[in-house]
């Protein structure tokens, strides 16, 4: 595990700023954790993607039997906890919260490089990485302690309809306000674990994101903040505003502030840049109120925010898998609390190394 305790020279910061400017922004997201008054903890994320990511919401009961979807050497487990998740292409878990209030968010990281899968350890398809954590752990600390032992090898595969592998990193947060960022860099697992790690975006790797943010903190957010949709700039804006917003004791006011921050770090729908034709629009946003166990969802193509009260979901082992069909581009319209609008459905098959 790593903590950020390094000193960076002006030259190194400048190099990082220049380097981050040329990284591809084709897939981009932002995640932040708000630590408020009266033990309020709220996690928000944006899903920025170059095309419709085929997201639906799913309820998975506890007790589901799963495998890592990479063949005979796949990791095997049974879900200890039920979860509410947002899918990607109905092939992977990209976002979600389990019944204990643990949240997992998957964001793109082009620099990711995963270990070689040679059968010496069980394999886990990248599509199941977040789901495994939600199925298995109640807190960030419990997850970090277990994952630090590297009980499996993460195995990636090509993106749907693309000739490039998926490369992501994983963030975790829980009702205590604890956070962890997990990356695979040069084939090695790197875990950043601290309550202070409230913000994560995409490139560069997380320790360099912290270095870039340190530069902007020296300038001061009331003086100037970077305004582009590059990952490093979104990190600086989210980091400043998540601490600057008032710590209201009223949950509705705290949620309003957090929605304001994640929208500030979003990319307007349909925006294009001539020399970056694949720049990513924000497709949807999720916000989780850990204390009240509410999962809010906002699509760019609908006028309403709606939410799921996780405490009203029956996660019993004999319960059914259920789906909320969000429609093409997440354009189906919902309003208010919607846990009773999920419909029983066969679970989707997670993408692995075998046939889809």
Catalytic residues: 29
All residues at 6 or more sequence positions from 337 whose CB lies less than 8 Å from its CB, including other chains: 306, 307, 308, 309, 312
Tell me whether strands 123-125 and 153-155 are parallel, antiparallel or unpaired: parallel
Total Cβ atoms within 10 A of residue 137 = 23
Could you give the angle at the alpha carbon of 202 between the alpha carbons of 228 and 204, nearest 5°?
A: 90
Tokens of 160: 């749907």
The residue ranges of DSSP E strands in the chain, in sequence order, are 28-35, 41-49, 57-60, 65-67, 76-78, 83-88, 92-98, 103-108, 123-125, 153-155, 168-173, 179-185, 188-193, 199-200, 281-289, 294-299, 305-309, 322-324, 336-337, 343-344
**Quick one: angle between helices 206-219 and 231-244, nearest 10?**
60
The side-by-side arrangement of strands in the sheet containing 294-299 is: 199-200, 28-35, 41-49, 281-289, 294-299, 305-309, 336-337
CA distances from 132 to 95, 110, 194, 243, 346 (A): 12, 22, 21, 31, 19
Q: Give φ, ψ of 85 to 5 degrees.
A: -130, 160
Measure the CA–CA gap between 63 and 79, rounded to whole angstroms: 5
Tokens of 268: 């307007």
The side-by-side arrangement of strands in the sheet containing 92-98 is: 188-193, 179-185, 168-173, 103-108, 92-98, 83-88, 57-60, 322-324, 343-344
Tell me whether strands 305-309 and 322-324 are parallel, antiparallel or unpaired: unpaired
């Amino acid at each position: 595990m790593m903590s950020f305790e390094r000193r960076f020279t002006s030259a190194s910061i400048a190099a990082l700023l220049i380097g981050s400017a040329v990284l591809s922004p084709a897939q981009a997201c932002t995640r932040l954790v708000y630590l408020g008054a009266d033990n309020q903890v709220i996690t928000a994320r944006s899903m920025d993607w170059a095309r419709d990511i085929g997201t639906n919401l799913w309820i998975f009961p506890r007790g589901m039997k799963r495998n890592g979807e990479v063949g005979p050497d796949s990791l095997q487990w049974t879900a200890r906890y039920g979860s509410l998740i947002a899918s990607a292409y109905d092939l992977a878990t990209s976002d979600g919260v389990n019944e204990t209030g643990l949240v997992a968010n998957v964001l793109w990281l082009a620099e990711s490089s995963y270990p070689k899968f040679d059968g010496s350890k069980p394999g886990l398809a990248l599509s199941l990485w977040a789901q495994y954590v939600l199925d298995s752990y109640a807190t960030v600390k419990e997850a970090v302690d277990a994952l630090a032992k590297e009980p499996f090898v993460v195995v990636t595969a090509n993106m749907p309809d693309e000739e490039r592998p998926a490369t992501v990193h994983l963030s975790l947060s829980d009702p205590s306000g604890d956070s962890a960022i997990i990356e695979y860099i040069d084939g090695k697992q790197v875990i950043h674990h601290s309550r202070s790690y409230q913000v994560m975006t995409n490139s560069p790797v997380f320790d360099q994101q912290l270095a870039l943010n340190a530069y902007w903190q020296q300038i001061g957010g009331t003086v100037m903040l970077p305004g582009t949709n590059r990952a490093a700039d979104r990190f600086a804006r989210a980091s400043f505003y998540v601490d600057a917003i008032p710590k209201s004791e009223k949950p509705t006011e705290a949620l309003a502030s957090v929605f304001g921050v994640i929208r500030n770090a979003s990319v307007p729908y349909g925006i294009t840049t001539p020399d970056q034709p694949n720049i990513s629009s924000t497709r949807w946003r999720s916000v989780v109120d850990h204390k009240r166990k509410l999962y809010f969802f906002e699509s760019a193509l609908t006028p309403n925010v709606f939410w799921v009260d996780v405490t009203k979901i029956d996660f019993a082992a004999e319960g059914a898998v259920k789906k909320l069909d969000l429609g093409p581009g997440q354009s189906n319209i919902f309003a208010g609390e919607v846990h009773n609008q999920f419909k029983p459905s066969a679970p989707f098959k997670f993408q692995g190394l075998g046939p889809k």
